[in-house]
Structure formats: C-alpha cells, structure tokens
C-alpha cells in the first residue's frame, strides 16, 4: 500500500520531500556496512531511496504492518547494487519491470515441481527467505532482512535485487546485461564471454569446496553453500558478500573482485 508514503511524498507533480534525518539514520543503523560508503555515495543512496519509495508499493503479508523505517531499510539496500549506474533516476530503470514488494514476517514455504530427464515429476517444499521473479514482484522475509551479517556476508535484499539485475534479459544465468566497453572488451559478446568464464571458474571452485565440506569433512565455506545450487545463485550470493564485506570477499574471491568492481562501480 502507498498510503503511508503520504507523510513523505506530496501530491503528484510536486518535488519529492527529503527523507527525515531520524528515519534515515534509523535505516543506516540496520545496515552497518553502509558506513563504508563515502559521504557523496550516502547522499546519492538517499536520493535513490527516495525515488525508489515513490515508485514501489510495499505489501505486508500475514498481518505484517510495513512501517516507514522497514520500507526505507529495504529501499536503501535495494538501491545499493545500482548506486553507480547513472545520474538522476536512471539506475532505477533496472527495476522498472515490477512495482510490488511483498514482505512476510518469516520464511515462506513454496511448493515446487520439477521434471527430470526421464520425465518423472518430483514435488517438494522449499523454504524461501526471498524470491525475485522476471517481470514480477519481489518477496522478502522480514526476519531475514534483519539478519544481515557482515561476518557471514549475508543479505537477502541485495541477493534478490541482484537476481533482478540478472533477470533483466529474461535469463537467470548469472550474467546481467553489461555496459558497452565492459573491462575493455570490444563488444557485448566478448564482454559476456569474459564475465561467464570468470564467474564459472569461481563457481566451479566454490561448488567443489562445498562438496568437500559436505561429504569429506573439509572446512566449511565462508559463504552460504546455497550458492553452489546454480551459477545464478552463486552470482547473487557472492554479490551479497561483495557489498556487505568487500574486504573478506576480495580475499575469498580474488578473481571476482575486479569483475564486480567493473560492473557495480563503473568509472571508479
């Protein structure tokens, strides 16, 4: 519902109001990793969060009441991946395929159905902390939103909104549409090939490390083993860590750091 936004945003055609300082500081307190942003970046993030809140509709599920602080906490984290994607409202074009953000109090159990190579249908249940659908809404568990961890590199909001970037071309393959001249490549095909080759190599190594930990008692991986499910999940899981704990991410995934810097921080 947008009714609660009336306190922050005036009628259509008038300028957007500034997010009140106490509300902004409250949102930052929920996201301590944002303290590493420069003052200019924080100002820009605040601007984008304002535009994001004016454009999206938040819906609380199962009786959950969405407060201003909750919505702003989500908005700030959702805008972080696209912070350096252009001036004005240009970065939010990456999120223009949906309006609704559904927030549940806790994880949601989804019914899944897959057909194997032999045509056999398998049905199972999956507990979801969040979900992003192509040209569809984003679902989040509020409990998981508040469980962001610098120590483990966990952040469900960034995870789901990076999925939105990946899904921009309709294919969940771990490779979002890349800007012209990405990392000095001569064209879109070469840029995509570089991205996928680099990500695939890191994914293969991570997948092997997860198997060794699970089956042979090797040290557990720093990041959630869920990232080994598929390369698109690996992209989302590593992106969480990149924004939440960049230093540790750089040590764990040395080959991905320049790739992600070039994508998420172009021109820096």
Q: Where are the alpha helices (DSSP H) in 80-230?
A: 142-145, 156-166, 188-216
Mean pLDDT lowest among 106-115, 129-138, 205-214, 251-260: 106-115
Compute how many other C-beta atoms are within 10 angstroms of the C-beta atom of residue 146. Answer: 11
How much is the pLDDT for 208?
97
Among residues 221, 173, 172, 175, which one has the least CA distance to residue 194?
175
Average pLDDT of the chain to the nearest whole number: 90
CA distance linking residue 135 with residue 51, whole number of Å: 19
Q: Say whether pLDDT at 97 is over 50.
A: yes
Q: What is the mean pLDDT of residues 221-247?
A: 97
Confidence class for position 1, pLDDT limits 50, 70, 90: very low
Confidence class for position 118, pLDDT limits 50, 70, 90: low
Q: What is the mean pLDDT of residues 138-154?
A: 96
Site of tokens 């499910």: 229
Q: Say whether pLDDT at 233 is over 70.
A: yes
Q: What is the mean pLDDT of residues 95-115?
A: 82
Q: What is the mean pLDDT of residues 114-122?
A: 62
Q: Say whether pLDDT at 138 is over 70.
A: yes
Mean pLDDT lowest among 56-60, 83-87, 108-112: 108-112
Q: How much of the chain exceeds pLDDT 90, in percent?
A: 80
How much is the pLDDT for 158?
98
- CATH of the domain spanning 1-170, picked from 3.30.870.10, 3.20.20.70, 1.10.472.150, 3.40.50.1820: 1.10.472.150
Confidence class for position 127, pLDDT limits 50, 70, 90: confident
Give the tokens for residue 167: 């899904």
Confidence class for position 129, pLDDT limits 50, 70, 90: confident
Give the tokens for residue 124: 């199972």
Bridge partners of 123? 113
Q: Say whether pLDDT at 53 is over 60.
A: yes
Q: What is the mean pLDDT of residues 226-235?
A: 96
In the chain, domain spans? 1-170, 173-268
């Amino acid at each position: 519902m947008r009714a609660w936004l009336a306190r922050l945003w005036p009628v259509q055609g008038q300028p957007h109001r500034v997010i009140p300082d106490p509300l902004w500081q409250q949102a930052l307190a929920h996201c301590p990793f944002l303290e590493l942003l420069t003052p200019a970046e924080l100002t820009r993030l605040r601007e984008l969060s304002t535009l994001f809140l004016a454009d999206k509709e938040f819906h609380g599920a199962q009786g959950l009441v969405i407060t201003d602080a909750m919505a702003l906490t989500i908005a700030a984290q959702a805008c972080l991946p696209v912070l350096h994607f252009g001036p004005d409202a240009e970065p939010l074009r990456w999120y223009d395929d949906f309006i609704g953000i559904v927030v549940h109090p806790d994880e949601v159990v989804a019914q899944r159905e897959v057909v194997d190579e032999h045509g056999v249908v398998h049905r199972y249940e999956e507990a979801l902390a969040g979900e992003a659908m192509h040209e569809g809404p984003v679902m989040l568990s509020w409990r998981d939103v508040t469980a962001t961890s610098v120590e483990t590199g966990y952040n469900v909001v960034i995870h789901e909104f990076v999925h939105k970037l990946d899904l921009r071309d309709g294919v969940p393959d771990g490779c979002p549409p890349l800007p012209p001249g990405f990392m000095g490549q001569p064209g879109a095909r070469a840029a995509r090939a570089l991205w996928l080759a680099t990500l695939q190599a890191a994914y293969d190594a991570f997948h092997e490390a997860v198997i060794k930990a699970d089956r042979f008692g090797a040290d557990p991986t720093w990041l959630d083993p869920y990232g080994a499910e598929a390369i698109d999940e690996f992209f989302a899981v590593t992106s969480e860590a990149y924004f939440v704990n960049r230093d540790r991410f750089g040590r764990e995934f040395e080959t991905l750091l320049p790739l992600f810097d070039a994508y998420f921080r172009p021109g820096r």
